[in-house]
């Protein structure tokens, strides 16, 4: 790496069609005393499965697609259901006139009920 000579990055073009990548660290023959911490990060994206030939493949993953479609459909259904229930709750917050009220009534009463919730 030109910016950081102590970092090594394997992109997908360097390890294309390889099943393994080996990183080796060896001791230099010079008599230099130093201490250092090493860390290794592995990032990989994709959905793979091990086929009958013991190779990792990413084609014909119908189960993954079916699972994702099911989860997203369930999420959308729950979202719509919750939005409908929220609309009903908003209606309950409004004032509701009693059935025996008449237009000629001159007094209005407001009753507030605390349920403890």
pLDDT digits (tens, 9 = 90+) for 13-42: 776 777 676 767 666 666 766 677 777 777
pLDDT band of residue 56 (cuts 50, 70, 90) is confident
Burial of residue 90 (CB within 10 Å: 0-12, 13-18, 19+) is exposed
Quote the pTM value. Answer: 0.40
Domains in the chain: boundaries: 56-92
Query: CA angle, corner 47, sides to 43 and 49, nearest 5?
Result: 115
Tell me, what's the pLDDT at 1? 45
pLDDT higher than threshold 90 for residue 98: no
- Long-range CB pairs of 67-70 (<8 Å, 24+ gap) are none
Phi, psi of 77 (to 5 degrees): -60, -45
């Amino acid at each position: 790496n030109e910016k950081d000579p102590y970092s090594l990055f394997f992109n997908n073009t360097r390890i294309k069609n390889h099943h393994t990548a080996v990183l080796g660290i060896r001791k230099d023959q010079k008599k230099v005393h130093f201490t250092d911490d090493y860390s290794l990060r592995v990032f990989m994206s994709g959905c793979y499965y091990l086929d009958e030939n013991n190779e990792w493949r990413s084609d014909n993953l119908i189960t993954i697609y079916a699972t994702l479609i099911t989860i997203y459909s369930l999420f959308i259904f729950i979202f719509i259901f919750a939005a409908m229930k929220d609309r009903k709750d908003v209606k309950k917050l409004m004032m509701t006139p009693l059935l025996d009220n008449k237009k000629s009534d001159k007094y209005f009463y407001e009753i507030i009920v605390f349920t403890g919730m």
